[in-house]
Chains A and B, each alone.
Chain A
Amino acid sequence: MEFLLEPFTYSYMVKAIWVSALVGATCAFLSSYLMLKGWSLMGDALAHAIIPGVALAYLLGLPYAAGAFFAGILAALSMNIVKRKTRLREDTVIGLVFTTFFAIGLLLVSINPTSVNIQGIILGNILAISNEDALQVVIISFICLLVLVLKWRDLMAVFFDENHARALGLSVQPLQILFFTLLSAATVAALQTVGACLVIAMVVTPGATAYILTDRFNRLIVIAVLLGSITSAVGAYTSFFLNANPGGLIVTLQTLLFIAAFFFAPRHGLWAKHRATKMILKGNSHG
């Protein structure tokens, strides 16, 4: 017992656990929307596009979150413009823009090798997060969650049927911009916990798992947020014993839950479908 409680005796572990949970919840909330539009790769793109912003922020001595956030918005906007002004497909545009930003980021880092720990950004390590960085992450997450809790219905209406949302008098474009702003902000936060490579999992997997488990959007959000926060907390906690990278653990846990849902979900799981087919076949042979 004492052994299991040991992580809680270290303040850096306690901090890592609850900050991870908070970030996990925020990303999971956003994942509920992201996967519905086929925009899942946006999260990945944003995470990589952020790198030059972080490098520049370090270079100029600004808070890294500001730089990251600015780069994220810039990337989202450029994707939007390229998509609207050309006939290129969405995946091409995403691929084009994010690699460009990532390349610029690497270039900046290689020119100033001492300024940034690029390894830290790409892999992330919540266990080593400084108090100032933790504070930034917490503020970002709280603001995101607050906005989402207040406006989730409006965003759902916009994601479901843009024209109808417009006919209702909702401000569709500002809401879309709001969503991408939140996504950029959450990506910045997640960078610290799981790193740029694994941010994509944080903003996709919990939503995808919840999608298999329910047909109602409000429940989907609740399930996704629970999955996101619990896996993140447990991942950070377990990393203490395994002496492993918390990001890797968090995402592995999320994937395990997805696999469980894939097989055992009550209605849309493989097992349930198999049983339903068997019932029908049985019914036919009797009738």
Chain B
Amino acid sequence: MSKNSIQLENISVTYPNGHHALTGVTASIEAGSICGLVGVNGAGKSTLFKAIMGFVKPSTGRVTISGMAVKQALKQNLVCYVPQTEEVDWNFPVLVEDVVMMGRYGHMGFLRHPSKADHEAVTAALERTNMTEFRKRQIGELSGGQKKRVFVARALAQGGQIILLDEPFTGIDIKTEDALIILFRSLAAEGRLILVSTHNLGSVPSFCDDVMLINRTLLAHGPVETVFTQENLVKAFGGMLRHHQLVGADLHDDEDKRSITVLSDDERPLVFYGETGGQKITKHGNKE
């Protein structure tokens, strides 16, 4: 089997109502890294996810996953999807372990009767996400971070090599966020490909290796250090960001030319510090 990867060749998506969600996206994402998919709401992040999972058919272009067509990759359980918290019906009468077991359905026969291997995979996934003690809870009884972890556990149980996470850090505290980042890092280190859509700018430098900036099309793609610059972000977000710059007398008593630029939407701010307001990215921002 070839190395896990996602190849996007000139992907355009136009919805039936005529809305051009994405135009001409070409990119290659490789395994072993965490790639952040960054853009404003409506920039086409979800559409790109849908195209990768084959839910929407691109009007032009082709998606290849690990050298296979999307459909074939799905059949082999290569692709896992971790939904946004708001997309899930938390009143659904299922326990944590039932949800994780659903990740195994693709491995089961016609009747979806779980085998010993399936039960073991569920137990292992629960352990890895620290959810073992909650396995008998109804999903609505969990905290925000635990809710996220259930669906990460489901992805692990599924055994997919490509994990798509939709806004995983919305509505959780910093401690849980850090724990999730450590988990994602270790998953990537094992050779999985992790694609995370987020509009939470501040957390991107602290856990992404690569970043794709999109706004209806791919604006920039590459390592965080080179692509995640103030210039590119302003291009991607336009006027959608809060922009604070501390410079000159506000910041220094002497003739130092360096300034601090803080970019934020509503989440963790992104801080630039340097002479032109943007060479160095500080790795840790703070929530207000």
Interface positions of A (Cβ within 8 A of B): 36, 150, 153-154, 156-157, 159-161, 163-170, 211, 214-217, 220
Closest chain A CB from B181 CB (angstroms): 23
Q: Is B93 in contact with chain A by the CB < 8 A criterion? A: yes
Determine whether the beta carbon of B81 is less than 8 Å from that of A169: no
Select A168's contact among B71, B83, B105, beta carbons within 8 Å.
B105
Q: Is B9 in contact with chain A by the CB < 8 A criterion? A: no
Closest chain B CB from A30 CB (angstroms): 15
Question: Nearest 8 pairs between A and B by C-beta?
Answer: A215-B138, A153-B112, A168-B106, A169-B74, A167-B81, A169-B75, A217-B93, A220-B93
Determine whether the beta carbon of B93 is less than 8 Å from that of A154: no
Q: Is B265 in contact with chain A by the CB < 8 A criterion? A: no
- Given A153-B105, A154-B112, are A161 and B83 neighbors across the interface (CB < 8 Å)? yes
For B93, list chain A residues within 8 Å (CB).
36, 211, 214-217, 220
| Bound CA span A215–B136, Å | 10
Q: Which of B94-102, B119-127, B212-220 contacts A (4 or more CB under 8 A)?
A: B94-102
Determine whether the beta carbon of B95 is less than 8 Å from that of A160: no
Closest chain B CB from A272 CB (angstroms): 14
| Bound CA span A106–B75, Å | 49
Q: How many A-B residue pairs have CB under 8 A?
A: 72
Determine whether the beta carbon of A166 is less than 8 Å from that of B55: yes
| Bound CA span A36–B93, Å | 9
Nearest residue (CB) in B for A207 is B93
Extra 8 A-B pairs, beta carbons < 8 Å, given A160-B99, A168-B74, A168-B77: A36-B89, A36-B93, A153-B105, A163-B81, A166-B54, A166-B74, A168-B103, A215-B94
- Given A160-B89, A160-B92, are A167 and B53 neighbors across the interface (CB < 8 Å)? yes
Within 8 A of A (CB), among B69-113: 71, 74-75, 77, 79-81, 83, 87-89, 92-95, 98-99, 102-103, 105-106, 110-112
For B110, list chain A residues within 8 Å (CB).
150
| Bound CA span A268–B110, Å | 34
Nearest residue (CB) in A for B166 is A163
Determine whether the beta carbon of B95 is less than 8 Å from that of A216: yes
| Bound CA span A152–B240, Å | 46
Nearest residue (CB) in A for B53 is A167
Q: Give me 24 A-to-B residue pairs in the complex whose CB atoms sit less than 8 angstroms apart, sorted by A's number.
A: A150-B110, A153-B112, A157-B102, A160-B102, A164-B83, A166-B53, A166-B55, A167-B53, A167-B74, A167-B80, A168-B102, A168-B106, A168-B158, A169-B74, A169-B106, A170-B105, A211-B93, A214-B93, A215-B93, A215-B94, A216-B93, A216-B94, A217-B93, A217-B98
Q: Is B45 in contact with chain A by the CB < 8 A criterion? A: no
- Given A167-B53, A214-B93, A216-B94, are A161 and B74 neighbors across the interface (CB < 8 Å)? no
For A156, list chain B residues within 8 Å (CB).
94, 102
For B95, list chain A residues within 8 Å (CB).
215-216
Closest chain A CB from B76 CB (angstroms): 8
B6-40 interface bits toward A, Cβ cutoff 8 Å, 1 = contact, 0 = none: 00000000000000000000000000000000000
Q: Is B154 in contact with chain A by the CB < 8 A criterion? A: yes
For A153, list chain B residues within 8 Å (CB).
105, 111-112
| Bound CA span A8–B238, Å | 78
For A170, list chain B residues within 8 Å (CB).
105
Closest chain A CB from B55 CB (angstroms): 6
Q: Which of B54, B80, B105 has the most CB of A within 10 A?
A: B105
| Bound CA span A164–B94, Å | 15
Within 8 A of A (CB), among B105-145: 105-106, 110-112, 138
For B55, list chain A residues within 8 Å (CB).
163, 166
Select A161's contact among B75, B77, B102, beta carbons within 8 Å.
B102
Determine whether the beta carbon of B88 is less than 8 Å from that of A161: yes
Nearest residue (CB) in B for A172 is B55
| Bound CA span A169–B160, Å | 13
For A217, list chain B residues within 8 Å (CB).
92-94, 98
Select A160's contact among B74, B80, B81, B94, beta carbons within 8 Å.
B94
Determine whether the beta carbon of A167 is less than 8 Å from that of B102: no
| Bound CA span A168–B89, Å | 19
- Given A160-B89, A211-B93, A216-B94, are A150 and B111 neighbors across the interface (CB < 8 Å)? yes
Determine whether the beta carbon of B105 is less than 8 Å from that of A157: yes
- Given A168-B74, A216-B98, A217-B94, are A163 and B89 neighbors across the interface (CB < 8 Å)? no
| Bound CA span A161–B110, Å | 19
Determine whether the beta carbon of A167 is less than 8 Å from that of B79: yes
Closest chain A CB from B228 CB (angstroms): 28
| Bound CA span A36–B140, Å | 14
| Bound CA span A216–B77, Å | 26
